[in-house]
Structure 1
Amino acid sequence: SIDDSDFENRYAGAGFETLHKTHEQLYADHIANNPYDSNDDIYWDWYSKPAYELADATLFRAVYSKKQLVELLADFWHNHFNVYFWQDDGVPLLVSYNRDVLRKHMLGNFRQMLEAVAKHPSMLYYLNQNNSNDAGPNENFARELFELHTLGAENYLGVRDPNSVEKDANGIAVGYVDNDVYEAARCLTGWRVDDDLGDWEDGVEKTGNFLYYKPWHDRFNKLILGQYIPADQEDLKDGHDVLDLLASHPGTARFICRKLCRRFISDAPPESIVQAAADTFLQHKDAPDQLRRVMETILLSAEFKAGWGGKVKRPLEAVVSMMRALNSEFIRPPGGINWMLGLMGQALFERRPPDGYPDTREAWMNSMSLLYRWNFAVGLTENWMDEDDTGYKIFSDVFAQTPAEMRTASSLADYWIQRILNRSLPESGRNAVVAVMAQEYAPDETLSEDHARYALPAMIETILMSPEFQWR
């Protein structure tokens, strides 16, 4: 296993106060028994503190942990099963959603992950499942379950009679229609949160846990993806049947694996690797390490090895890679980092629609997103991002990290280009970097120490602003 003790020691010293709490403790301490008056700001500060600490810890892990694949997957799965930070009823519970659902299952079994997502209060609140009952089933969660979480829009067949849809060899519909969404919403009625804060409902407490509330469940028969679901099944079985059908569907395998390949290989990954990963997904659908096997199929493929330059870094990747490249030091990340991420378009956990942040070049290669990346590069390199209110600081000592024997513009440029990019720049790009460092000096002339100290940050910023730094 990877020795991540340096990160673990840093994390222990960061002083996070709420991230160790269980789901039940988060609900009790920050929602049900919040000790402050809701008319005071301190009430809302305490209420939202776990989520703010989660955002800080996410940046902390991304910068300092050696388990970078874990962090990339945590980001991927949060965007796949997106939940908005400021979902009013359960902001503190974002901590347990991230830790006990996404991180726990992201290299495990997809069916188990799907059920954990469907039963977590963060998702139940976010997509209005918490009030779905037999008198008025709410289709919001059911629709996203099909369209975003499993089969994907690529397997949507429109408004059709479900009996007209082609079936596979097992009698399962090859895609879904609107009627499947409505019927799934009926199957999931009564899936809610145990959150009777006002002591108004019989049989409902205030633990903040998942609750199957039988009085709200639609007990009658349904038809999902061509499969008949009889009336009066045992508790929860209607919903479990829906999840079983979706998690084992070949369309789900292709959709999930296409998204993973898009994340790790290119915006338009070759169909060969998508199908290979989907085959692994289905072959090991009952395995406890199903998703680990899928990732191995992708990461060991020839398509992955040939994938350099097929992606552009999203803002979070750009910001984290800058901090890692400069060995930036912080105990807790200043709030300005997430604020800048917001200006770039990717504030942590703040995507309002349920589709998650986009994952293609077109979404991020725009003038405003790039402008704020450049501003961040300057602020980080020149140490302008300290936070006065909290005292949180971030420091990048680029001069101390530069070998003392390198004192020409050419040697400094070559050192930092290789260190940051791990590859050479085209001649025109290299010449531009050298020119920023040299200024009035010749490229191979020895620089004074004052000049080296003065010009080095600007040269590094030029590399961080280069098109090549945006690729991955």
Structure 2
Amino acid sequence: MGTDVQRDHRALKLSRREWFTRCLQAGGAASGALLLGAGCHFPTPTSLGIVAPSPQWLPPPRAARLSTDVWRVLNRAAFGPTPGLVAAVADIGIAHWLEDQLADAMPEDPYLTWHVSGLDTLQTEQDDPNELFAEPNEQLVIETGKAALLRAIYSRHQLREVMADFWANHFNIYALKLDGRALIPTDTERVIRRHVFGRFEEMLQASARSPAMLTYLDNRDNKKGIPNENYARELMELHTVGVHSGYTQYDIMQVARCFTGWSVGSGFREAQFVFRPQWHDEGAKQVPFLHLSLPPNGGQRDGEKVLSALAHHPATAHFLAAKLCRHFLGSEPPALVERAARAYLKSDTSIRALLRPILLDGLTNADLCQPVLKRPLDLVVSALRCFAAETDAGDGLQTHLANMGQPLYQWPMPDGFPEKTSAWASALLPRWQFAFALATQGIPRTRIDLEAPLKARKGGEAQMVDVYVEAVFGRPAEAQELARVRGLLHGHFRRARSAGVPDEVCKAELVALMLAAPEFQWKG
């Protein structure tokens, strides 16, 4: 038997705990080397006086109902709590925190700003989007994902990041189709993030002019005489009024005619929207569903009028309100959907006005909220946030997202990554693998400090399980809804100690089991 084969054979005989111990040791060493560098002397945030915020390991409020309400809000209007955030939000009040998030006025943390602005892809997008076509495809995909993950993990503007992800799925674009990799960074920054809390009509108008969207849904080749209906169909079905609103195939055909000539430049303008008059169908158009009668020679205004009519249509208001209720609440309370839709229409399509009743009246009412399974992105970010992880959000982390089924910007269909539980519930093994990799420092350039909460809370061995329970779940260890998992963890801890399991392995096992538990996998 050859040496390599013998080594592999011996590896197969390792117990699960021996494997766990070796992963912990190897992962910790690798993470340390990668985080500290190997003799490199590039500028760092610390060398420039930019310091990461220190975690505040404050215990959650002992009032079970209050801590559960705050935890629910932070798992839905944010990507999960960070150390001490449950206590901080409980102190100022949930409604106050939500209003602050809706105002979106606080300064961003300079540590995050430094990391995101340092990405080559984002710098190029700001300077000259056309130059993105010269960047390597892999770098474009990884760095666009990095920006999204770093913001979700570290931003103070958590509601903004949740909504940026929501709109990126609502106006989904597949990065691997045609020029998507080079065009999505500009769409993300100038369509999604620029309008995340603004007027929906402005976002819709910007999306219709986005080279990424025009390319993905084939409108860049939409010409008179041979109209391409793909964008018109998805515009109505997915972006605005919804498939059951009553429009017909004739309406789609007429809308497609309105967008003939809406295209993308070439040469030095290949990352820019252009209107090609010679391609536009200048005949009169009727869109019965929208009560639009467009005279001949309307030019680019034909498409603009369609977008405005769709944005202000009552069906769009209802469609967006219902979709946002499902996203935040896991349900569609009819009265709340109607109230949010009315607020949207009365405010000239304001997204903030649309959100306010859903968040302040819906999310704060436990009776209106149903359990929601975390999608892979929510799971990964919430796990990193609860331990104040250090990460570069690079390919090491993104590989786990892909294994769980959510590689960022790579959903091929125009409907965006699904939110239904059935779409994610069958892929449990990659979720558990992520939990164990994170707890054992097994993700390159990503690290969590398992000692920090114990030191901060002065928790000895007897309190270890409960300190970790409160760190991971953001609620008092004695909370009734945590009784099952807490009992299992205490039992596991006693058995591990009796078996002489090393201290660092025992801690990593506890944290991994918590992150893999149903109580963490769901937004309660």
| Aligned residue number for residue 277 of structure 1 | 340
| Aligned residue number for residue 124 of structure 1 | 214
The code of the aligned residue for 2:132 comes to H
| Alpha-carbon distance in 1 for matches of 2:187, 2:496 | 55
| Alpha-carbon distance in 2 for matches of 1:147, 1:214 | 27
| Alpha-carbon distance in 2 for matches of 1:112, 1:310 | 33
Provide the secondary structure at the position in 1 that maps to 2:122.
coil
Q: What are the superposed Cα offsets for residues 105-141 of structure 1, whole Å, 9 maximum, x if unpaired?
A: 1100111110100000000000000000002000000
| Aligned residue number for residue 67 of structure 1 | 157
Say if 2:229 is the partner of 1:229: no
| Alpha-carbon distance in 1 for matches of 2:336, 2:259 | 34
Q: Which moved more, 1:300-309 or 1:111-120?
A: 300-309
| Aligned residue number for residue 490 of structure 2 | 434
| Alpha-carbon distance in 1 for matches of 2:166, 2:424 | 16
| Aligned residue number for residue 42 of structure 1 | none
Deviation at 1:365, TM superposition (A): 1.3
Candidates 238, 254, 258, aligned match of 2:318: 254
| Aligned residue number for residue 429 of structure 2 | 371
Deviation at 1:318, TM superposition (A): 0.3
| Alpha-carbon distance in 2 for matches of 1:312, 1:60 | 22
**How high is the TM-score relative to the length of structure 2?**
0.74
Q: What are the superposed Cα offsets for residues 238-297 of structure 1, whole Å, 9 maximum, x if unpaired?
A: 11121121111101100011111111111x3211111111011111126xxx10111112
Candidates 451, 461, 482, aligned match of 1:408: 461
Preserved contact between residue 250 and residue 282 of structure 1 (Cα < 8 Å) = yes
Candidates 238, 244, 250, aligned match of 1:179: 250
Q: Which moved more, 1:178-187 or 1:357-366?
A: 357-366
| Aligned residue number for residue 142 of structure 1 | 232
Candidates 360, 372, 376, aligned match of 1:315: 376
Deviation at 1:2, TM superposition (A): 2.8
CA change 1:194–1:407 in 2 (3 A) is same
Q: What are the superposed Cα offsets for residues 293-352 of structure 1, whole Å, 9 maximum, x if unpaired?
A: 11112111145431555311111000000111122112x223122121112111111100
The code of the aligned residue for 1:459 comes to L
Deviation at 1:46, TM superposition (A): 2.5
Candidates 260, 264, 277, aligned match of 1:189: 260
Candidates 376, 381, 386, aligned match of 1:325: 386
Say if 2:262 is the partner of 1:206: no
| Alpha-carbon distance in 2 for matches of 1:428, 1:215 | 68
CA change 1:302–1:114 in 2 (3 A) is closer
Question: Would you tell me which structure has more helix in proportion to its own residues?
Answer: 2
CA change 1:7–1:24 in 2 (3 A) is closer
| Alpha-carbon distance in 2 for matches of 1:67, 1:108 | 15
Q: What are the superposed Cα offsets for residues 31-60 of structure 1, whole Å, 9 maximum, x if unpaired?
A: 3xx3xxxxxxxxxx6255334211111111
Provide the secondary structure at the position in 1 that maps to 2:149.
helix
Preserved contact between residue 329 and residue 362 of structure 2 (Cα < 8 Å) = no
Provide the secondary structure at the position in 2 that maps to 1:189.
coil
Provide the secondary structure at the position in 2 that maps to 1:102.
helix
| Aligned residue number for residue 44 of structure 2 | none
CA change 1:130–1:23 in 2 (3 A) is farther
The code of the aligned residue for 1:244 comes to S
| Alpha-carbon distance in 1 for matches of 2:320, 2:483 | 41
Preserved contact between residue 234 and residue 414 of structure 2 (Cα < 8 Å) = yes
Deviation at 1:10, TM superposition (A): 4.8
CA change 1:232–1:298 in 2 (3 A) is same
**How high is the TM-score relative to the length of structure 1?**
0.82
| Alpha-carbon distance in 1 for matches of 2:107, 2:205 | 32
CA change 1:23–1:326 in 2 (3 A) is closer
Deviation at 1:420, TM superposition (A): 1.2
The code of the aligned residue for 2:115 comes to Y
| Aligned residue number for residue 90 of structure 2 | none
Provide the secondary structure at the position in 2 that maps to 1:21.
helix
The code of the aligned residue for 2:280 comes to H
Preserved contact between residue 49 and residue 92 of structure 1 (Cα < 8 Å) = no
CA change 1:465–1:207 in 2 (3 A) is closer
Residues 299-310 of structure 1: matches in 2 within 5 Å?
Answer: 299-302=359-362, 304-306=364-366, 307=368, 309-310=370-371
Deviation at 1:228, TM superposition (A): 4.4
CA change 1:207–1:352 in 2 (3 A) is closer
The code of the aligned residue for 1:8 comes to L
The code of the aligned residue for 2:468 comes to W
Deviation at 1:431, TM superposition (A): 1.4
Gaps of 5+ in 1: 35-44, 156-174, 198-204, 387-392
| Alpha-carbon distance in 1 for matches of 2:201, 2:317 | 11
CA change 1:23–1:422 in 2 (3 A) is closer
| Alpha-carbon distance in 1 for matches of 2:136, 2:505 | 43
CA change 1:23–1:86 in 2 (3 A) is farther
Deviation at 1:394, TM superposition (A): 1.1
| Alpha-carbon distance in 1 for matches of 2:308, 2:136 | 39
| Alpha-carbon distance in 1 for matches of 2:127, 2:352 | 29
The code of the aligned residue for 1:406 comes to G
Question: Identity rate of aligned residues, in percent?
Answer: 32
Candidates 447, 451, 456, aligned match of 2:507: 456
Preserved contact between residue 240 and residue 311 of structure 2 (Cα < 8 Å) = yes
CA change 1:334–1:210 in 2 (3 A) is closer
Say if 2:276 is the partner of 1:242: no
Root-mean-square deviation (CA), in Å?
Answer: 2.2
| Aligned residue number for residue 26 of structure 2 | none
Preserved contact between residue 282 and residue 299 of structure 2 (Cα < 8 Å) = no
| Aligned residue number for residue 166 of structure 1 | none
Deviation at 1:223, TM superposition (A): 1.3
The code of the aligned residue for 1:181 comes to I
Preserved contact between residue 84 and residue 351 of structure 1 (Cα < 8 Å) = yes
| Aligned residue number for residue 467 of structure 1 | 518
| Alpha-carbon distance in 2 for matches of 1:470, 1:207 | 43
Count of equivalent residues: 412
- Higher RCO structure, 1 or 2 (CA under 8 Å, sep 6+): 2
Provide the secondary structure at the position in 2 that maps to 1:301.
helix
CA change 1:19–1:421 in 2 (3 A) is same
| Alpha-carbon distance in 2 for matches of 1:255, 1:309 | 19
Preserved contact between residue 51 and residue 93 of structure 1 (Cα < 8 Å) = no
| Alpha-carbon distance in 2 for matches of 1:422, 1:395 | 20
| Alpha-carbon distance in 2 for matches of 1:24, 1:90 | 19
Preserved contact between residue 469 and residue 514 of structure 2 (Cα < 8 Å) = yes
